[in-house]
Structures are given as C-alpha cells and as structure tokens.
C-alpha cells in the first residue's frame, strides 16, 4: 500500500519541519506549503490524502483555504490554531475541517489526531459500504436485512459470522490476516483468542460451502489468513 500523502500548510518553518518529521516517522509522505497560495497550486496539481492546515497564513488564510478546499474535495483537514483564534477555529469546523489542534502542541499529539481522523473517516466509509448488497453465483448477502441465501435458501448466521462473511466478500480475493479480522470484526478486543477466527471460518464454511472440507468460497491462504473467492 502506498503511503498516505499529507500536505502541511504552515508558514512557520520550524513548526512545519518538526510536524513533517514526526509525520514521516509515522509512515506518511509529507509535502510542505509555506503559504495559502502555494498550497492551492500544490493541491491543484495533486489532491493530497490529508491536509494539516495552519489558520494564520500569509497570502490566502486558513479559513479561505478550507472553504476553497471544501468546494473541491472531502479531503480530511486538521487545523492548527492558536488559543486566541477560538472564533476562527469554530468557523473552520463549520466550514468543514475535521478536527483542530491548539498551538503549542506536541507533534506526537498531532500524529495521533491525524490517525484518529483517518480511522473515523475510514469507519464512516465502511458504514456507507455496509449498505451495499452483494450477489455471487449461488450466494447473496444483504447487509440491510442481514440475510444470506445459498442457492436461494436463507441460511442462519450469527452476528460475527455475518460480519466476517460480508467483510471478506466485500473485498474479493483480498487476503485478511487473523489479526486484521480480529481488529475489524471484534474491534481488536484483547480478550479474544486468535483461534476464534479459525472457529468462525469453519462454521461459516459449514453453512455456505457446498463441501466444507473442500471450500470454494472461503479459502485459506496458508501462513497468511483468509480470502473470499467470488
Ligand atoms: Ca501561521
């Protein structure tokens, strides 16, 4: 997977540098714009995956830039603000920024906020996708009614079995590790044993596969995890 590309718009070079350093260390690709106008040029060339935006900027200020960005894109935005800029902060959020961090801040806190916004937006996207019914040869999955049919006959799945089948089927041929499935289906709960995943896959196979001992849908990728074969 390519690193997420973050644009940092900040006129104070020392802040821009330390923020950039921490974000790079956290695995992101970072570009810096030192004023609003430069940021617009960079965004027009290529939309970043995330924007960290100082409110007080020369040329085009942070609020105008937020408004300009929102006319074009839903790219996540975190604003950097000084404590005295509270009114602007509220305006920024109303204009569609996703979160803000008040200066002075620790760079590590900013990294955590960036990750939190990414997680939150990722979940919202997943939730939107959750509405989409899926249909394969002899297997249909309807997330709204949570009904699964095999060759036209409904099968009863537990909540977790359904969630796992739907997650795998929504990403055909993509391999999920046990850890990823635990994270996505059980929310990474520490008390859940990784073998729980194995047990659920086995039960799912008994319910949806023609021959559970020779699965054609839920395939084991040895040493890695599981994938759905459409
Ligand atoms: Ca500034």
pLDDT, tens digit, for every residue of 192-202?
A: 677 889 999 99
Contacts with 205 (C-beta within 8 Å, 6 or more apart), sequence order: 212, 215, 217, 218
Centre of ligand 1 from the C-alpha of residue 228, in Å: 49
Domain count, the chain: 2
Q: Which of 111, 127, 143 is the last residue of a domain?
A: 127
pTM, full prediction: 0.58
Q: Are 158 and 176 in the same domain? A: yes
Q: Which of 79, 96, 127 is the last residue of a domain?
A: 127
Centre of ligand 1 from the C-alpha of residue 2, in Å: 30
Q: Is the pLDDT of residue 190 over 50?
A: yes
Q: Is the pLDDT of residue 178 over 70?
A: yes
Cβ atoms of 143 and 166 within 8 Å: the answer is yes
Q: Are 112 and 198 in the same domain? A: no
Q: Are 13 and 121 in the same domain? A: yes
Using DSSP's 3-state secondary structure scheme, residue 100 falls into strand
Centre of ligand 1 from the C-alpha of residue 8, in Å: 12
Tell me: cis bond preceding 127? Omega within 30 of 0 counts: no
Q: Are 120 and 138 in the same domain? A: no
Question: What pLDDT shows up at residue 109?
Answer: 93
Q: Are 19 and 84 in the same domain? A: yes
Centre of ligand 1 from the C-alpha of residue 51, in Å: 15
Q: Are 149 and 171 in the same domain? A: yes
The CATH number of residue 224's host domain is 1.10.10.10
Centre of ligand 1 from the C-alpha of residue 49, in Å: 22
Q: Is the pLDDT of residue 18 over 60?
A: yes
In the predicted model, what is the mean pLDDT of the chain? 90
What's the rounded Cα separation, in Å, for the pair 188 and 216? 28
Q: Are 84 and 110 in the same domain? A: yes
Using alpha carbons, select from 147, 139, 115, 142 the residue that is nearest to residue 131. 142
Cβ atoms of 54 and 11 within 8 Å: the answer is yes
Centre of ligand 1 from the C-alpha of residue 150, in Å: 59
Q: What is the pLDDT of residues 72-102, one digit of tens each?
A: 888 999 999 987 777 777 888 888 889 989 9
- Domain of residue 170, residue span: 131-228
Centre of ligand 1 from the C-alpha of residue 61, in Å: 9
């Amino acid at each position: 997977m390519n690193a997420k590309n973050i644009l940092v718009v900040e006129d104070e070079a020392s802040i821009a540098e330390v923020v950039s350093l921490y974000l790079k260390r956290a695995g992101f690709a970072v570009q810096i714009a030192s004023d609003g106008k430069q940021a617009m040029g960079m965004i027009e060339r290529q939309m970043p995956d995330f924007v960290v935006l100082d409110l007080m900027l020369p040329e085009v200020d942070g609020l105008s830039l937020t408004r300009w960005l929102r006319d074009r894109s839903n790219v996540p935005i975190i604003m950097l603000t000084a404590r005295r800029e509270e009114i602007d902060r509220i305006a920024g959020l109303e204009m569609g920024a996703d979160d803000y961090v008040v200066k002075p801040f620790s760079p590590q806190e900013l990294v955590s906020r960036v990750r939190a916004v990414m997680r939150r937006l990722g979940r919202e996207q997943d939730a939107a996708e959750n509405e989409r019914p899926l249909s394969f040869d002899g297997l249909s999955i309807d997330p709204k009614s949570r009904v699964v049919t095999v060759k036209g006959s409904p099968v009863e799945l537990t909540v977790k079995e359904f969630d796992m089948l739907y997650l795998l089927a929504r990403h055909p041929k993509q391999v999920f590790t046990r850890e990823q499935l635990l994270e996505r289906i059980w929310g990474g709960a520490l008390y859940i044993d990784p073998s729980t995943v194995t047990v659920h896959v086995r039960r799912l196979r008994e319910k949806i596969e023609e021959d559970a001992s020779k699965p054609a849908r839920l395939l084991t990728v040895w040493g890695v995890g599981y994938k759905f074969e459409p």
